[in-house]
Structure 1
Amino acid sequence: MAAVLEPTNATLPTVDARIYPRNGLDILSRAEVARLRDASSGGMHELLRRCALAVLTSGSTTDDPRAARELYPDFDIQVQQQDRGVRIDLFKAPAMAFVEGDLIQGVAELLAAVVRDLAYTAIELDSGGRDLHTSEGITDAVFGLLRNARVLQPGDPNLVVCWGGHSINRDEYLYTKQVGYELGLRGIDICTGCGPGAMKGPMKGATIAHAKQRRRRMRYIGITEPGIIAAESPNPIVNHLVIMPDIEKRLEAFVRMGHGIIVFPGGVGTAEEILYLLGILLQEENAGLPFPLILTGPVASAPYFEQIDRFLRLTLGEAATSRYEIIVGDPAEVGKRMSRGLKKVREHRIAHRDSFFFNWSIDIPLDFQRPFVPTHEAMSALDLHNGRAPHALAADLRRAFSGIVAGNVKEDGIRRVEQHGPFEIHGDPAIMESLDALLRAFVQQHRMKIAGEYRPCYRVVTA
């Protein structure tokens, strides 16, 4: 890629640049370019601008998705189709993304990924190119997005998904690096939500181990979605960025691509991810499916995992505990256990003739795939009562946490809460008390990187 810088006058340093992307974004159709340039309510331009600005301002210290746009209100991006390929024009872009007159190479690659994925979504999904009304159709759409992003690669199962908070303390961050180092020594690649904190640490640790093992083709995959990327800009180690169209397809991508999952301390989003995965694994159809799931952190984080464990036992029952193990303060043991788990995954995939690069065998019900829009009415209608099947309760609990994530960090959710007040969440007293205690603990432990005083975007109602 090449850039031509034109300094501009602004409160913060900005530049104009012209980018010629390569590596998978050599051409776009006229229809794709038209959708990306369409600034109407049904167009993709505002979404493109928002995601591009998130990539260009990687390292933001706030969860508010509006902060970057307030700092760079005149930023714009235009995609042009030329006879010799694609050109991306940046206007008043953050100068922090450039060095010595050139756009940083890693930033340029992530910017091209933004254009690639939004163009694909606009034509293949938004324009009716895929059947999104059936479970099979949604899974096929997830596969198509990942294949188009060129992150599906044949080879032995070695991709571990790491979940955890973007707002963690120093000791927890160092621990995630140590775990990543142990994984890297064992030839394991890393996939995360692409942001900072527990999403960056494992990748950073793995880079050192991969270098020691002289691995030359490492994968540090970051999977995000438009509502999250502004609050969790990609960290600089990500070398494969994928933007899924919504949180449900993002979660399915993690489960379909990953061969095992490690969960570090986190906040509301991490709880949502745990509930999503356990809800799926508790399905009868997935009872015999090996899927290593480890919850881990430093010794000081033991109370956090005890609280999570109590919440899961209360809501989903003892059966849920058989699908995960908790390891505290032992990164090497985490690496050993995960390595052994990946071998079982490999054996199972071979025995059932399932691919190594995409988990077709795992059953994900349509209830877990339909996008959930956290309106006040939808949040109030969630059924958080005892007596339901564990996987069904997990689905609604996941939606509850998804709504709280939206109210905290997603622009649409923040706006709804500002206009109509906190979401109301109804359920059995025991579940509501445990849920409220868990959420309050997240705030007290500073697991939500909110600017200023935190005001809950929810209110629990016992019934």
Structure 2
Amino acid sequence: MASRHVINASVSPKGSLETLSQREVQQLSEAGSGSIYALFRQCALAILNTGAHSDNAKTILEAYQDFEVRIHQQDRGVRLELINAPADAFVDGEMIASTREMLFSALRDIVYSESELESLRIDLSTSQGITDYVFHLLRNARTLRPGVEPKMVVCWGGHSISSEEYKYTKKVGHELGLRSLDICTGCGPGVMKGPMKGATIAHAKQRIIGGRYLGLTEPGIIAAEAPNPIVNELVILPDIEKRLEAFVRVGHGVIIFPGGAGTAEEFLYLLGILMHPDNKDLPFPVILTGPRSATPYLEQLHAFISATLGEAAQQHYQIIVDDPAEVARQMAQGLKNVKQFRRERNDAFHFNWLLKIEEGFQRPFDPTHANMASLNLSRDLPPHELAANLRRAFSGIVAGNVKDKGIRLIEQYGPYEIHGDTAVMQPLDRLLQAFVEQHRMKLPGGAPYEPCYRVVT
């Protein structure tokens, strides 16, 4: 990040964008409240920095401290003036089309999030209110398409994986695309890009026009996982919890590839929801998969689930090793069951209203040192509640690894301490150690990984 090329440019949206009010422009300007401008600047910089090799949000923000974005309201819409922007986002002075689309998607989502929060119809004090908020954000982004049969497959996994694992994700994506399925990921590199890349080729082979490559992200992680250019629908949710809820509300099935702490966080979130008694009969296909070389990872994660949440949790997913076609066949069959289930109950295809998500999975978790140390990680808890707290522990580790605020907290106060029952802490410690040994934790510049946590029994 030491050497950089920058450019000044003026950009207007392709197509149309709702005009902004004078108040919204004021909020988004440096002269406004400051917080909304800072949020949009951070997201804009991440999008313009797509393709960079750094996955450290703090490093990216510091490398472009002189980057500015100014919002101008015009009769025909909005114009963005970019100062000292990363030059890689441009070709011969013109911004790359996908980058421009995502830039204005970020503007759309941030403005709408703020306006919705000020609306009297949004009640974030209740579980239903939070779900309604997620629904409105997705609807405003034109992500919800009534009448389209279930075919959105969510793919989770690491943003920094081996070449062999990355190629495997492309093969799985290709098999999904050949079966006319769409792809939803966290929108970044690695596993978030591979399945999309494979699906684009398959969609071309099947002459599918309008294949969907949906990317869901949030401000705290976008700089570490800048959107890959294949994404043709980008939605920025306000926080990680709403991002996770958006995945399971719009997705019809989930494929989990090898990853690290972030992947474990997503997996535990999903299992905690599926283990809730109200979701007992709800079909939601989940497949863990990877190439033959990823077998130790899959076995370690499977063993961790058994040791902490029990065999009942293992019934909610299947493991398929080194067989992309079988992964796609099983997912396609699972989606048929989802379609039948929703038809019988008159539930929407485009939004999973029947899925029960408790408030504990929806409330934002602030990974301070005090909050991390006070997590209740006991086998005495109901399994779905223990899954929620384990999810929070991994969320804190992700923050300490890659998020600007988390990195600064670790620099100031040292590693997080994670306390709990020995029956939970020992499997957790083994899993985290395996992630480190398999190079699945953040390793900036190839340096040895310095844990941002300490497991205490």
Residue type at the aligned position of 1:150? R
Secondary structure of the residue aligned to 2:272 is: helix
1:434 and 2:427 correspond: yes
1:181 and 2:174 correspond: yes
Are the equivalent residues in 2 in contact too, given 1:32–1:122 (CA < 8 A)? no
Residue type at the aligned position of 1:288? D
1:208 and 2:190 correspond: no
For residues 218-253 of structure 1, the C-alpha deviation after alignment (integer angstroms, 9 at most, x for no partner) is 110100000100000001100111100000000000
Aligned pairs for 1:443-462 within 5 A: 443-451=436-444, 452-462=447-457
Alignment match, 1:5: none
Counterpart among 127, 135, 149 of residue 141 in structure 2: 149
| Residue 338 to residue 11, structure 1, CA distance change in 2 (3 Å) | closer
TM-score relative to the length of structure 1: 0.95
Counterpart among 371, 374, 377 of residue 367 in structure 2: 374
Alignment match, 1:50: 42
1:165 and 2:177 correspond: no
Secondary structure of the residue aligned to 1:374 is: coil
Are the equivalent residues in 1 in contact too, given 2:215–2:231 (CA < 8 A)? yes
Q: Which moved more, 1:442-451 or 1:381-390?
A: 442-451
Are the equivalent residues in 2 in contact too, given 1:25–1:86 (CA < 8 A)? yes
Alignment match, 1:274: 267
Are the equivalent residues in 2 in contact too, given 1:62–1:450 (CA < 8 A)? no
Secondary structure of the residue aligned to 2:287 is: strand
What's the offset of the Cα at 1:432?
Answer: 0.9
Report the Cα distance in structure 1 between the residues aligned to 2:144 and 2:13, rounded to whole angstroms.
21
Residue type at the aligned position of 2:131? T
1:334 and 2:330 correspond: no
Q: Percent identity?
A: 60
1:22 and 2:14 correspond: yes
Residue type at the aligned position of 1:362? L
How many residues in Structure 1 have an aligned counterpart in Structure 2?
A: 453
Report the Cα distance in structure 1 between the residues aligned to 2:181 and 2:109, rounded to whole angstroms.
26
Aligned pairs for 1:254-269 within 5 A: 254-269=247-262
Aligned pairs for 1:55-204 within 5 A: 55-125=47-117, 130-154=122-146, 155-204=148-197
Aligned pairs for 1:402-421 within 5 A: 402-421=395-414
For residues 371-404 of structure 1, the C-alpha deviation after alignment (integer angstroms, 9 at most, x for no partner) is 0001111111101111210001001000000011
Are the equivalent residues in 2 in contact too, given 1:13–1:94 (CA < 8 A)? yes
1:284 and 2:265 correspond: no
Counterpart among 216, 229, 242 of residue 223 in structure 1: 216
Q: Which moved more, 1:116-125 or 1:331-340?
A: 116-125
What's the offset of the Cα at 1:188?
Answer: 0.3
For residues 55-99 of structure 1, the C-alpha deviation after alignment (integer angstroms, 9 at most, x for no partner) is 001122223102222322211111111112111110111111100
Are the equivalent residues in 1 in contact too, given 2:14–2:100 (CA < 8 A)? no
Alignment match, 2:23: 31
Are the equivalent residues in 1 in contact too, given 2:170–2:197 (CA < 8 A)? yes
Q: Which moved more, 1:202-211 or 1:59-68?
A: 59-68
Are the equivalent residues in 2 in contact too, given 1:380–1:424 (CA < 8 A)? yes
Q: Which moved more, 1:157-166 or 1:54-63?
A: 54-63
What's the offset of the Cα at 1:198?
Answer: 0.5
Report the Cα distance in structure 1 between the residues aligned to 2:72 and 2:233, rounded to whole angstroms.
23
TM-score relative to the length of structure 2: 0.97
Are the equivalent residues in 1 in contact too, given 2:289–2:319 (CA < 8 A)? yes
| Residue 379 to residue 80, structure 1, CA distance change in 2 (3 Å) | same
Are the equivalent residues in 2 in contact too, given 1:123–1:129 (CA < 8 A)? no
| Residue 424 to residue 449, structure 1, CA distance change in 2 (3 Å) | closer
Report the Cα distance in structure 2 between the residues aligned to 1:157 and 1:390, rounded to whole angstroms.
29
| Residue 46 to residue 39, structure 1, CA distance change in 2 (3 Å) | farther
Report the Cα distance in structure 1 between the residues aligned to 2:215 and 2:294, rounded to whole angstroms.
25
What's the offset of the Cα at 1:368?
Answer: 0.5
What's the offset of the Cα at 1:40?
Answer: 6.3
Residue type at the aligned position of 2:456? V
C-alpha RMSD of the superposition: 1.4
Report the Cα distance in structure 2 between the residues aligned to 1:126 and 1:376, rounded to whole angstroms.
31
For residues 239-284 of structure 1, the C-alpha deviation after alignment (integer angstroms, 9 at most, x for no partner) is 1111000000000000000000000000000000000000000000
Report the Cα distance in structure 2 between the residues aligned to 1:18 and 1:128, rounded to whole angstroms.
36
| Residue 402 to residue 11, structure 1, CA distance change in 2 (3 Å) | closer
Alignment match, 2:305: 312
Residue type at the aligned position of 1:324? Y
Report the Cα distance in structure 2 between the residues aligned to 1:263 and 1:435, rounded to whole angstroms.
19
Report the Cα distance in structure 2 between the residues aligned to 1:373 and 1:394, rounded to whole angstroms.
17
What's the offset of the Cα at 1:38?
Answer: 4.5
What's the offset of the Cα at 1:444?
Answer: 1.8
Secondary structure of the residue aligned to 1:161 is: strand
Alignment match, 1:251: 244
Report the Cα distance in structure 2 between the residues aligned to 1:232 and 1:238, rounded to whole angstroms.
13
For residues 172-203 of structure 1, the C-alpha deviation after alignment (integer angstroms, 9 at most, x for no partner) is 00000000000000000000000100110000
1:358 and 2:351 correspond: yes
Report the Cα distance in structure 1 between the residues aligned to 2:103 and 2:442, rounded to whole angstroms.
25
Q: Which moved more, 1:43-52 or 1:259-268?
A: 43-52
What's the offset of the Cα at 1:13?
Answer: 1.9
Q: Which moved more, 1:19-28 or 1:286-295?
A: 19-28
Are the equivalent residues in 2 in contact too, given 1:63–1:450 (CA < 8 A)? no
Secondary structure of the residue aligned to 1:460 is: strand
Report the Cα distance in structure 1 between the residues aligned to 2:30 and 2:363, rounded to whole angstroms.
27
1:234 and 2:241 correspond: no
Report the Cα distance in structure 2 between the residues aligned to 1:187 and 1:163, rounded to whole angstroms.
19
Report the Cα distance in structure 2 between the residues aligned to 1:257 and 1:226, rounded to whole angstroms.
20
Report the Cα distance in structure 2 between the residues aligned to 1:312 and 1:236, rounded to whole angstroms.
34
Unaligned runs of 5+ residues in structure 2 are none
Unaligned runs of 5+ residues in structure 1 are 1-9
